[in-house]
Structure formats: structure tokens, C-alpha cells
């Protein structure tokens, strides 16, 4: 039954009033109960719309010695309907001296608290009348949070061993309410004027530039920041620290500064230049100037996520921002550039135009992820970011092929559900369907459409259909000749009938993605679509239908042909008979393709004889599709393995890594079972397949970014797999490095391989550990940490990081280490035991529903393939309560993944064994 929200006036001294707060004494018994035992007059998690904030005056005083803070919030209100109740958010803070500043004078307000929904009710003894201006003032006090959200404590150790404390904010998604009382929903946009009280030894920064500093009695200083433009609460930020900064100005006159702890300020130059370049790029691309006079980027020593886009003050993990030209790797450079591009893209997508509610989180996260690639492609062509986009679509498909997936736009209400939206579906699927639409509409039309969208909805909130309308308008009439011309390359699309919303609703409102089956018979190409789902319950695939922008090319024409498949089945006619067809050209579409009949065989022949007839992306796409089709029984494992044979001639990064991505998990499953013989045969096959490519790798830092990333990947794999030439070389280099007491500068891209080999001996491990403790280079530290988790030493060496987190290793790095240990054949049980034993501490620290927790849950368990392990996993997660996470989606994902692994092993192990035996026979014969 749909119950109307109850905004009741129940307290005798306060008279009833009209509008949204209709008294309904009859329902009083169902009302929530406030902390003081009185009924709480609002029973919804979402705030009522009777009142909205216009302006916040915030004064915040953190005490970095006592680790708490006090503050005063004065909020100007806009009353939309007469009411005498104000409902707003506050979480875990003491509230006092609450006043109403009305045109008639100042009056105290009665306060009720309902912690379960993080809500306060402020009750007035007179009606606040629609259209009149009111203010409320609240004083508050709380501890600095010990987690990574709200107004939280961070600390770091200097090279002389001194521990320094600072305080920083992370409000997205629902944590502004833990720092000050506020209307903590993205649609309640307001202006903020912030003042921070601090000691003279610290500095304070916030969203806006500082306008003045006032000396307070007692020697404290109060920094006053300029008033922000209209924005959501989750974007407010302030930091009190002893950071230093470096600055530059963009071509458009925006002052960019990068802040870091003093001893790391010499690692900020790269980020500063990147931010200047990328902000200028967005200014031009969006055709809307960046809205603030400055943008600061701050590297925070304790940070849970990767980065956060607070307006005018984005915050980052140190590894996400700090770059040392001599010690950071090619993938570090790529990662830092991408993360900055992402957070700066949000300054428009998210900050200027914000989703109405978290159900449409993808409107900012999908876009920011997508813009990482668009902006780097143009501003940093040398990084060849295009080589990596595909990986996002593969990642998205992995979760989206489970029945526990969810539509891109999904209803959510409570903070845990909101946190869960920050997943591969919102980010990666979001980016991939945008990429598909861009490819379909043409880049030019797409760009015009998104600029229209940003301009039309600046300072407002949107839902997905606003975006589709803006893009439909472009594809209608109001576009320049360029777009019309480009669209005229789309022969099978009737432009006037192009309904972007109808197409895109099929991708955002239903979960999963289609599998398109293609069967060529002469000139006829039969097409059909169904949902790709990794489950044995066929009923779950019924009722799904997508509008699929198909693309294809054939053996006789590499011109991209297009066809919008709207129905379950359809037929295409080719101008002539062909040897092969390749659909989903360059994988610009978010769907899989099954080549039925002789289709896969013709593709295997093509790859074996002339693989460069297809692009690297197409090859990666085929590898992905063929192995994924094995999982659902559409293709036999032998066929996929036959296709994989061509990889011995592959050199393109995405195809190589996708080859690894499909083959390595097979032996990872076996490592967690007792089947060493087959496991070793499989390992041998993969090493053989890539031996030529590994042998060709130089042990230097030369080459393009993709070549360098590929090199470090291959050498790491080769060393881990004990490939003798690699181990010998890495051992030599490690010993040299160790003999120089770590001063020898190794080529950066090979250090991971070298450290992994070094960490195999107790002395090497200890040496790495000592260097890890004292290093100030974040990327070097991160490689050492990973290498230490990969060791096979049995004497608890790699237990140590788990046991000592918070001391030697920062707690923020713990989840990554747990996952890494779980991939180690000698460590996976330990990681699983650790996760179970520390569950309550972990969810308290990292929060229920966070991607940190989900990632740990799915990654620690996704290589199990036995019923015993499934039972064990079920028994642990089954024992959780709602408060301790039983409702989390990642638990369902985990069950489904293990079930899928069990099915895969049951079906395919004999086939794999037979194929590998046959192959080794063949190879042995060829050798004779
Ligand atoms: N808005 C997010 C930060 C965030 C993540 C807030 C989860 C609340 C919950 C930010 O823009 C973001 O997406 N950060 C990414 C890094 C990015 C490069 C993909 C992250 O933290 O993983
Ligand atoms: Zn983001």
C-alpha cells in the first residue's frame, strides 16, 4: 500500500497548520519515535519539499588536538508551503541553541531527533508562511570522524618520525549531514559562505578562495571564504592541515593549485600541469567557462576512494595525484591524468548540472568516466587512452551478466543503497552506453547535444530523460550541416524518426545487455537478440528487448555498416557473399555477438592467417565474446581455445591483456583446488603462447605508454610464472638494487617484476619491507606492497601487513592488500579468514555498501569453484543481519559468481584436459 508521507504536528504547544503538514492523529501510532520518546513528525527517508535552503552561513572550528569540532550553521530558508516544521539532516552530532530568525523576531525552536533517518525536526510555535524569508541557526558539536567520510581526521608521519594530524572532508554521498546540519539531498542546492577557525600553524582551504583572515581572541585565526555559487551539499569541502601548495593559472584565468604534505610537494608538478591543461580543455569543449575563480587539488594522506570532485577543491589519494618523474611508472602517469580528468569533468557533469537523485548517479559518474577518455584522447594523444576504453566495457559486462545486476537508473533510498550505486554499472556501463550513443549519433552531434544539455540545466538538477531530449533535438533539425552530413553516412537509420530516448531507455531502464546471434547464409544475415545471462534459469532472460545500434564489416568491405536492431529477430542482406563478418566494430557497442553456424570457424581462420585484417579492439572483443559464450554453453571450450592460439602473434595491448584476462582465471580457479597437474599444463600453455612477446621485451622504460604498460604486465606475469629467463634477470637486478641499499635506479616499468622476485626470499622480503616503511614515493611504495603480498613464503611474512595495518601500512591500503593476498595461492584462505574475522571493524571503517567493501567481498571469493566453498561463503554471509550487511548486492554477486565457476568447471574441465593433452602431443610431434 502506498502511504502518504506524514508531516504531522503532534506536540500540544504547537498549533496545527495547513499544507503538507496535515495533522493526522489517526496515524500517530505508526510514526517514528524521536530520541526523547515523542513522535517524530516525518516518516520518510527523503526530506519533504515544503522548505528548501537558500544559503548556509557556516562557521566550523576543528580542534586537531582534542580531535573534535564545533560549529554554527545559519540557514536561510525558502518556504514553499505554510508549515511549522522544518525537517533536515544531522548525523551523530550534538545540536544546541536552535533559533528561528523570523521577520517578527528571534524565537527558540523545539528540536526532535530521529537518528535512524539522520533527521532533525525543528518545531516552531508559529507558522512559517510561504514566500517569507526565515533563517534557522543551530549550534553543533561532534568528534572528527575516525572513518573516511564526514569531517574526518587524517594523519601522516614525516621522515623524522613525527606524526602530524589534519582534518578533511568527504561528503558524497550522504555525509555532509555528519559535519553540519543541512538538507543533505542533491536537489537542495544553495549558496554556502564558510568560515574556518584554525591555529596559526595550519592553513585552511575550501571550495572558494579565502577573502580574509580575522584574528580571534586567544590567538586563533578565522578564515573567511567567498560565497559559493548554488551547489549541492555533497560538494562542500574544507581542509585544515599544514599542506604546502604550488600554483599556475590557466589560459582562461583560473588559478590552479596542488596541495600536499610538505615532504611530497616536489611530486606535484605533473598534476599541476595536467590540471591546467585539462581545465582549459573542458572550458573549450563544453563551451562553458569553469564557474569558479580557482581550483585546488589536494592529496590527502588518508582517503578511501580514489578522488572526489568537490567544487573548486577536488581531493585525491596521494597515489592518485603525486607523480615522481624518476620513480612513477607509465601506468601511474595514465592513472593520475585520468583521475584528474575525471574530477575536472565533474565540475560540469555533476557540479554544474546535478542528478535530481542518486538513482541517476550515472548521469555524472558515467559521464565523468566517459570524459576521461574523450579529454585524454584529445589533450594527451601520446597516452593512447583509446587502447584501454574497451576494458571498461568488459568490466561492466562482468557484473551486468549476473541476475543480481541492476538497471543503470535504479530506485534507491537509504544510504547503503546509495553507496552501492557507485559501481561498475553506473561508471563503466554508463560510459560504454554513452560511447555507443556517440558512435551512433556521430561525435559532432553528440557534442552539440551534451553542450545543449549542460547549458540548459546549469545550476539545476536533471533526470536521464533531460539528456535524451537534448540529444534528440540535435539529431532532429537544429544542427549544422556537419552533423547532417555525418548522419547521412547512416543509411539504415531514418533520421527524422530517431528517438534517442526510446533507444536509450532500453539501455538504462533494463539491466543486463543483449547477446546478438548472427548467422550468415549466403547473402542473408539472420540476426536475433536475447539477454546474455550467466545463470541456468532461462526464465530470467525473458521479456528483454533492446534497440541495438549494430555495426559490422565484412571480408569484402571494411566500411562500417550500420543497422538499428529493434526487434527480437531481423534479416540483413549483404551485397555479395563473404568469407566472414565482424559485428560490433571496435566494440563501440555494449553487446556481445555469437557467430553461429560456421561463423566462429571463419573468424578463427581469419585470425590465424591474417589477424591484422581486424583492429586490436576487434580482436580483443572476439577473445572476450568467444570465452564468455563458453560460460553460457553457446560455444564449446575447444573453439575458444582454438581461437586463442593466434595470440602467439598478438602484440596489441588490449588483445593481449584480454587473452590473459580470459585464460589466467582458468588456472586461478584450479589453484584453489587440488589439481596441480592440469593447473601446470594450463600455466605452461599460457607461457608458451606469449613466450615470443615476452622474449622481445626490453628491460628499459622505452616506448609508448601502451608498450610500457604492456611490458610491465608481461614481465610481471613471466616472473610470477617462473619463466626462467625472466627470473634470472629479475634476480640479478634485485640483488644489485639491494646491494646499493635501494639507491640504484631501476627502470620503473620493470620494478614490479623485480620486487616480486626479490620478495621470494626472506631477506629480500625484509629488505623490501624496510624500504616500504621509509619511502616517500607513493607509487614505489604501492609496488613494494603488492610485491610483498605475492610472495610464496610460508613463514607468515605476508601476514604481517594484515596484522599491522594502521601502523606500518595505512588502513586505507588494507582492502587492496586483502584482495591481493586472496589471489595468492598460498594466501587465499588467510584473506577469507581475515575478512570474516574483521567484518564488523571493516564495515564500520569503510561503510556498508561502499565499493571498498563490495570489492573486497567479490574479489576475495570470486575464484572459488567448489560446493564446499560456496557453502562456507553462504554460511558466513547468511549469518549477517540487515545492520551488518545482509542486504548488500555484492553478496548475491558472490553467490552467482561461485555458482557460475562450479558450472564452468563441471562442464569444461574434461574438455580442457583433452584439448591441452592433444596440443602437447601436437607440439611434441612438431618438435621432432
Ligand atoms: N564522486 C566520486 C567519489 C566517490 C566515490 C564518492 C564513491 C562517494 C562514493 C569521484 O568522482 C570518483 O568517481 N572517483 C573515483 C575515481 C575515478 C577516477 C573513477 C574513485 O574514487 O574510485
Ligand atoms: Zn566520479
Nearest to 30 by CA among 52, 12, 51, 3: 3
Work out the average pLDDT over 852-856. 97
CA of 141 to the centre of ligand 2 (A): 30
Q: Which ligand is nearest to the CA of 316?
A: 1
Total structural domains in the chain?
A: 4
In a domain, 686, yes or no: no
Residues with CB under 6 A from ligand 1: 172-173, 305-309, 338-339, 342-343, 346, 365, 368-369, 422
Tell me if 863 is assigned to some domain.
yes
Surrounding residues of ion ligand 2, Cβ less than 5 A? 365, 368
Q: Is 294 part of any domain?
A: yes
Residue count of the chain: 928
Q: What are the binding residues for Zn(2+)?
A: 342, 346, 365
**Residue 488 burial (CB count, 10 A):** 11
* Helix, coil or strand: residue 532: coil
Contact criterion met (CB below 8 Å) for 79 and 51 = yes
Domain interval for residue 126? 31-242
Ligand 2 mean position, distance from CA 369 (Å): 7
Looking at the structure, do residues 139 and 259 belong to the same domain, yes or no?
Answer: no
Asked whether residue 238 falls in the same domain as residue 254, the answer is no
Identify the residue whose cell numbers are 577536488.
314
CATH number for the domain harbouring residue 567: 2.60.40.1910
First to last CA, the chain: 77
Nearest CA to ligand 1 atom 15: 306
* Cβ count within 10 A of residue 143: 15
Query: Residues 228-276: pLDDT tens digits?
Result: 999 999 999 999 999 999 999 999 999 999 999 999 999 999 999 999 9
Number of Cβ within 10 Å of residue 724's Cβ equals: 8
Q: How far is CA 427 from the centre of its chain?
A: 6
The candidate with the shortest Cα–Cα distance to 300, out of 144, 162, 165, is 165
Confidence of residue 25 (pLDDT cuts 50, 70, 90): very low
Smallest CA separation from ligand 1 atom 21, residue: 306
Best of 305, 351, 852 to mutate for ligand 1, by most ligand atoms within 8 A of CB?
A: 305
Domain boundary, last residue among 209, 242, 275: 242
**Ligand whose nearest atom lies closest to the CA of 311:** 1
**For the chain, what percent of residues have pLDDT higher than 90?**
87
Query: Average pLDDT, stretch 88-96?
Result: 98
Does residue 12 lie within any of the structural domains?
no
**Confidence band (pLDDT; 50, 70, 90) for 927?**
low
592: pLDDT strictly greater than 80: yes
CB atoms within 10 A of CB 197: 20
C-alpha cell of 213? 583572515
Out of 242, 270, 290, a domain closes at 242
Count of Cβ atoms closer than 10 Å to residue 739 Cβ: 10
Assigned domain for 654 exists = no
Q: Could you count the other beta carbons within 10 Å of the beta carbon of residue 898?
A: 23
Residue with CA nearest ligand 1 atom 22: 306
Residue ID of nearest Cα to ligand 1 atom 11: 308
- Which tens digits make up the pLDDT trace of 359-368? 999 999 999 9
Q: Is the pLDDT of residue 11 over 90?
A: no
How far apart CA 321 and CA 770 sit, in angstroms, is 24
Find the helix or strand (DSSP H, E) in which 124 lies. strand 119-128
Q: Which atom of ligand 1 is the closest one to the Cα of 306?
A: 21
**Banded pLDDT at 797 (limits 50, 70, 90):** low
Provide the β-strand partners of residue 204.
240
Alpha-carbon distance of 543 to 333, in angstroms, equals 45
Q: Considering only 149-158, 470-479, 854-863, which range has the smallest mean pLDDT?
A: 470-479
Taking only the tens place, the pLDDT of each residue in 859-873 is: 999 999 999 999 999
Query: Do 534 and 607 fall within a single domain?
Result: yes
Which residue's CA lies nearest to atom 8 of ligand 1?
172
C-alpha cell at 202: 595550519
Cα–Cα distances in angstroms (integers) from residue 211 to residues 58, 206, 236, 248, 919, in the given order? 15, 11, 17, 19, 73
Omega before 543 within 30 of 0, i.e. cis: no
Both 373 and 520 in a single domain?
A: no
Tens of pLDDT along 643-663? Answer: 999 999 999 999 999 999 999
Rounded Cα distance between 212 and 225, Å, is: 7
CATH number at 858 reads 1.25.50.20
Of 838, 788, 796, 792, whose CA–CA distance to 815 is shortest? 838
For ligand 1, atom 17, which residue shows the shortest CA distance? 339
- Separation CA 669–CA 708 (nearest Å): 29
Q: How far apart are CA 600 and CA 595, in angstroms?
A: 5
pLDDT value, residue 803:
63
Atom from ligand 1 closest to the CA of residue 304: 21
The ligand with the least distance to the CA atom of 319 is 1
Looking at the domain assignment, is residue 318 inside a domain? Answer: yes
CA of 861 to the centre of ligand 2 (A): 27
Residue carrying C-alpha cell 555479395: 576
pLDDT the model gives residue 473: 78
Distance 285 CA to ligand 2 centre (A): 19
463-to-113, 159, 921 alpha-carbon distances in Å: 31, 49, 60
Angle between the N-to-C axes of helices 464-476 and 443-456, in degrees from 0 to 180, rounded to the nearest 10: 130
Residues 735 and 625 in one domain: no
Determine which residue's CA is closest to atom 14 belonging to ligand 1: 307
Residue 74 lies in a domain: yes
User: CATH number, domain at 87?
Assistant: 2.60.40.1730
Looking at the predicted structure, is the pLDDT value of residue 538 above 50?
Answer: yes
Percent of the chain scoring above 70 in pLDDT? 93
Mean pLDDT confidence for 442-451 = 96
Query: Over the chain, what is the mean pLDDT?
Result: 92
- Which of 644, 675, 708 is the C-terminal boundary of a domain? 644
**Where is pLDDT greater, at 790 or 75?**
75
Residue numbers belonging to the annotated binding site: 342, 346, 365
Give me ligand 2 centre to Cα 338, in Å: 11
706 shares its domain with 850: yes
Q: Are residues 203 and 264 in the same domain?
A: no
Clarify whether 872 is annotated catalytic.
no
Query: CA–CA separation, 726 vs 721, rounded Å?
Result: 9
If one residue of 171, 307, 344, 371 were mutated to test the ligand 1 pocket, choosing by the most ligand atoms within 8 A of its CB, it would be 307
606-626: average pLDDT: 98
Q: What is the pLDDT of residues 857-916, one digit of tens each?
A: 999 999 999 999 999 999 999 999 999 999 999 999 999 999 999 999 999 999 999 999
Which of the residue ranges 106-120, 526-540, 823-837 has the most confident prediction, judged by mean pLDDT?
Answer: 106-120
Q: In whole angstroms, how far apart are CA 792 and each of 27, 284, 593, 822, 834?
A: 64, 52, 40, 12, 18
Q: Do 823 and 850 fall into the same domain?
A: yes
Pocket probe mutation, ligand 1, options 342, 354, 846, max atoms within 8 Å of Cβ:
342
Are 86 and 163 in the same domain? yes
The top-scoring range by mean pLDDT among 207-216, 488-497, 786-795 is: 207-216
User: Nearest 5 degrees, angle CA 427-CA 429-CA 430?
Assistant: 60
- One of 185, 343, 372, 447 is an active-site residue; which one? 343
Calculate the dihedral angle through the C-alpha atoms of 492, 493, 494, 499, rounding to the nearest 10 degrees.
Answer: 160
Closest CA to 746 of 780, 706, 705: 780
Q: How far apart are CA 863 and CA 670, in angstroms?
A: 9
CA of 13 to the centre of ligand 2 (A): 47
Rounded CA-CA distance 365/343 in Å is 10
- Determine the Cα–Cα distance for residues 828 and 866; give it in Å rounded to an integer: 14
Residue 238 C-alpha cell reads as 574544507
What is the tens place of the pLDDT at every residue in 370-426?
999 999 999 999 999 999 999 999 999 999 999 999 999 999 999 999 999 999 999
Q: Say yes or no: 145 and 87 in one domain.
A: yes
Query: What's the pTM value of the predicted model, to 2 decimals?
Result: 0.95
> How far lies 266's CA from each of 126, 270, 773, 781, 784, in Å?
59, 10, 20, 17, 21
Give the other-Cβ count within 10 Å of 596's Cβ: 15
Determine the distance separating the centroid of ligand 2 and the alpha carbon of 343, expressed in angstroms: 6
Q: What is the pLDDT of residue 13?
A: 36
Of the CA atoms within 13 Å of residue 431, those in its CB half-sphere come to 25
pLDDT digits (tens, 9 = 90+) for 173-193: 999 999 999 999 999 999 999
456 has pLDDT over 70? yes
pLDDT digits (tens, 9 = 90+) for 108-117: 999 999 999 9
Nearest to 139 by CA among 65, 184, 75: 75
- Distance from chain centroid for Cα 779: 20
List, in sequence order, every beta strand (DSSP E) within 389-468.
461-462
pLDDT of residue 926: 65
Mapped onto helix, strand or coil, the DSSP state of residue 555 is coil
Q: The domain that contains 366 carries what CATH number?
A: 1.10.390.10
Nearest-angstrom CA–CA distance, 502 and 803? 53
Is 89 found in the same domain as 157? yes
**521 in a domain, yes or no?**
yes
Closest atom of ligand 1 to 369 CA is: 19
Q: Are residues 229 and 302 in the same domain?
A: no
27-36, 320-329, 556-565: the lowest-pLDDT one:
27-36
Q: Which of 325, 158, 271 is nearest to 745 (CA)?
A: 325
Is residue 851 within 8 A of residue 172, CB to CB? The reply is: no
Amino acid at each position: 500500500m502506498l502511504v502518504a508521507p506524514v508531516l504531522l504536528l503532534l506536540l500540544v504547544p504547537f498549533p496545527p497548520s495547513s499544507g503538507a503538514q496535515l495533522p493526522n492523529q489517526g496515524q500517530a501510532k505508526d510514526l517514528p519515535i524521536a530520541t526523547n520518546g515523542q513522535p517524530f513528525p516525518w516518516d520518510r527517508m527523503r526530506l519533504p519539499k515544503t522548505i528548501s535552503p537558500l544559503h548556509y552561513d557556516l562557521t566550523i572550528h576543528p580542534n586537531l588536538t582534542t580531535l573534535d569540532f564545533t560549529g554554527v550553521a545559519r540557514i536561510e530558508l525558502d518556504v514553499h508551503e505554510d508549515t511549522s516544521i522544518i525537517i533536515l539532516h544531522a548525523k551523530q552530532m550534538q545540536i544546541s541553541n536552535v533559533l528561528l530568525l523570523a521577520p517578527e523576531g528571534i524565537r527558540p525552536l523545539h528540536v526532535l531527533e530521529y537518528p535512524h533517518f539522520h533527521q532533525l525536526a525543528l518545531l516552531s510555535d508559529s507558522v512559517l508562511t510561504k514566500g517569507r524569508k526565515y533563517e534557522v541557526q543551530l549550534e553543533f558539536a561532534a568528534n572528527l570522524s575516525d572513518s573516511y567520510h564526514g569531517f574526518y581526521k587524517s594523519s601522516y608521519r614525516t621522515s623524522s618520525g613525527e606524526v602530524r594530524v589534519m582534518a578533511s572532508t568527504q561528503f558524497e554521498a550522504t555525509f555532509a549531514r555528519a559535519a553540519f546540519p543541512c538538507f543533505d539531498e542533491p536537489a537542495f542546492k544553495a549558496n554556502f559562505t564558510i568560515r574556518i577557525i584554525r591555529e596559526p600553524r595550519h592553513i585552511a582551504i575550501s571550495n572558494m578562495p579565502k577573502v580574509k583572515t580575522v584574528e580571534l581572541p586567544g590567538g586563533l585565526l578565522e578564515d573567511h571564504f567567498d560565497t559559493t555559487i548554488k551547489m549541492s551539499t555533497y560538494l562542500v569541502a574544507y581542509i585544515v592541515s599544514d599542506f604546502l601548495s604550488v600554483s599556475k593559472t590557466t589560459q582562461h584565468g583560473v588559478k590552479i593549485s596542488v596541495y600536499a604534505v610538505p615532504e611530497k610537494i616536489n611530486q606535484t608538478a605533473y598534476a599541476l600541469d595536467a590540471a591546467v591543461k585539462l581545465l582549459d580543455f573542458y572550458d573549450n569543449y563544453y563551451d562553458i567557462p569553469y564557474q569558479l575563480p580557482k581550483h585546488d587539488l589536494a592529496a590527502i594522506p588518508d582517503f578511501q576512494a580514489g578522488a572526489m570532485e568537490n567544487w573548486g577543491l577536488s581531493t585525491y589519494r596521494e597515489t592518485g595525484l603525486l607523480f615522481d618523474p624518476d620513480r612513477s611508472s607509465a601506468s601511474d602517469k595514465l592513472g593520475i591524468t585520468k583521475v584528474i580528468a575525471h574530477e575536472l569533468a565533474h565540475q560540469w557533469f555533476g557540479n554544474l548540472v546535478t542528478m535530481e537523485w542518486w538513482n541517476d548517479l550515472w548521469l555524472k559518474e558515467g559521464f565523468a568516466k566517459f570524459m576521461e577518455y574523450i579529454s585524454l584522447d584529445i589533450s594527451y594523444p601520446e597516452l593512447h587512452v583509446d587502447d584501454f576504453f574497451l576494458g571498461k566495457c568488459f568490466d561492466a559486462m562482468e557484473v551486468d551478466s549476473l541476475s543480481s545486476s541492476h538497471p543503470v537508473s535504479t530506485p534507491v533510498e537509504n544510504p547503503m543503497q546509495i553507496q552501492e550505486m557507485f559501481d561498475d554499472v553506473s561508471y563503466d556501463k554508463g560510459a560504454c552506453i554513452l560511447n555507443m550513443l556517440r558512435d551512433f549519433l556521430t561525435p559532432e552531434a553528440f557534442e552539440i547535444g551534451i553542450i545543449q544539455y549542460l547549458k540548459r540545466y546549469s545550476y539545476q538538477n536533471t533526470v536521464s530523460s533531460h539528456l535524451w531530449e537534448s540529444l534528440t533535438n540535435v539529431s532532429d533539425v537544429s544542427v549544422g550541416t556537419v552533423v547532417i552530413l555525418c548522419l547521412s553516412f547512416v543509411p539504415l537509420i531514418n533520421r527524422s524518426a530517431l528517438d534517442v530516448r526510446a533507444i536509450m531507455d532500453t539501455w538504462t531502464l533494463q539491466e543486463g545487455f543483449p547477446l546478438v546471434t548472427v548467422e550468415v547464409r549466403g547473402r542473408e544475415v539472420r540476426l536475433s537478440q536475447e539477454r546474455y545471462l550467466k545463470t541456468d534459469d532461462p526464465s530470467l532472460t525473458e521479456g528483454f528487448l533492446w534497440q541495438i545500434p549494430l555495426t559490422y564489416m565484412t571480408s569484402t568491405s571494411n566500411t562500417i555498416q550500420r543497422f538499428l536492431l529493434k526487434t527480437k529477430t531481423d534479416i540483413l542482406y549483404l551485397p555479395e557473399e563473404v568469407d566472414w563478418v565482424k559485428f560490433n566494430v571496435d566494440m563501440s557497442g555494449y553487446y556481445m555477438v555469437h557467430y553461429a553456424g560456421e561463423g566462429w570457424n571463419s573468424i578463427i581462420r581469419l585470425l590465424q592467417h591474417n589477424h591484422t585484417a581486424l583492429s586490436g579492439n576487434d580482436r580483443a572483443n572476439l577473445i572476450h565474446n568467444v570465452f564468455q559464450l563458453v560460460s553460457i554453453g553457446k560455444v564449446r571450450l575447444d573453439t575458444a581455445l582454438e581461437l586463442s592460439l593466434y595470440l602467439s602473434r598478438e602484440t596489441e595491448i588490449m588483445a593481449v591483456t584480454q587473452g590473459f584476462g580470459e585464460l589466467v582465471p582458468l588456472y586461478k580457479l584450479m589453484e584453489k583446488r587440488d589439481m596441480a597437474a592440469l593447473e601446470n599444463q594450463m600455466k605452461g600453455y599460457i607461457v608458451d603462447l606469449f613466450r615470443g612477446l615476452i622474449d622481445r621485451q626490453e628491460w628499459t622504460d622505452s616506448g609508448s605508454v601502451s608498450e610500457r604498460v604492456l611490458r610491465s604486465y608481461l614481465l610481471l606475469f613471466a616472473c610470477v610464472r617462473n619463466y626462467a629467463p625472466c627470473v634470472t634477470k629479475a634476480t640479478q637486478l634485485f640483488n644489485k638494487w639491494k646491494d646499493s641499499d635501494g639507491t640504484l635506479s631501476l627502470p620503473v616499468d620493470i620494478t614490479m617484476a623485480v620486487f616480486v622476485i626479490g620478495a621470494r626470499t626472506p631477506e629480500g622480503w625484509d629488505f623490501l619491507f624496510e624500504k616500504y616503511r621509509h619511502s616517500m614515493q607513493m607509487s614505489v611504495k604501492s609496488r613494494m606492497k603488492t610485491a610483498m603480498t605475492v610472495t610464496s613464503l610460508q613463514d607468515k611474512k605476508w601476514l604481517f601487513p594484515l596484522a599491522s595495518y594502521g601502523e606500518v601500512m595505512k588502513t586505507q591500503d588494507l582492502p587492496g592488500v586483502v584482495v591481493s593476498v586472496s589471489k595468492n595461492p598460498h594466501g587465499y584462505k588467510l584473506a577469507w579468514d581475515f575478512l570474516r574475522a574483521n567484518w564488523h571493524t571493516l564495515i564500520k571503517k569503510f561503510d556498508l555498501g561502499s565499493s571498498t567493501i563490495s570489492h573486497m567481498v567479490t574479489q576475495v571469493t570470486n575464484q572459488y569453484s567448489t560446493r564446499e566453498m560456496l557453502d562456507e561463503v553462504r554460511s558466513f554471509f547468511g549469518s549477517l543481519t540487515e545492520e551488518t550487511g545482509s542486504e548488500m548486492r555484492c553478496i548475491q554477486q558472490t553467490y552467482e559468481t561461485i555458482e557460475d565457476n562450479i558450472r564452468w568447471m563441471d562442464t569444461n574441465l574434461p574438455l580442457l584436459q583433452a584439448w591441452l593433452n592433444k596440443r602437447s602431443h601436437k607440439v611434441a610431434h612438431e618438435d621432432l
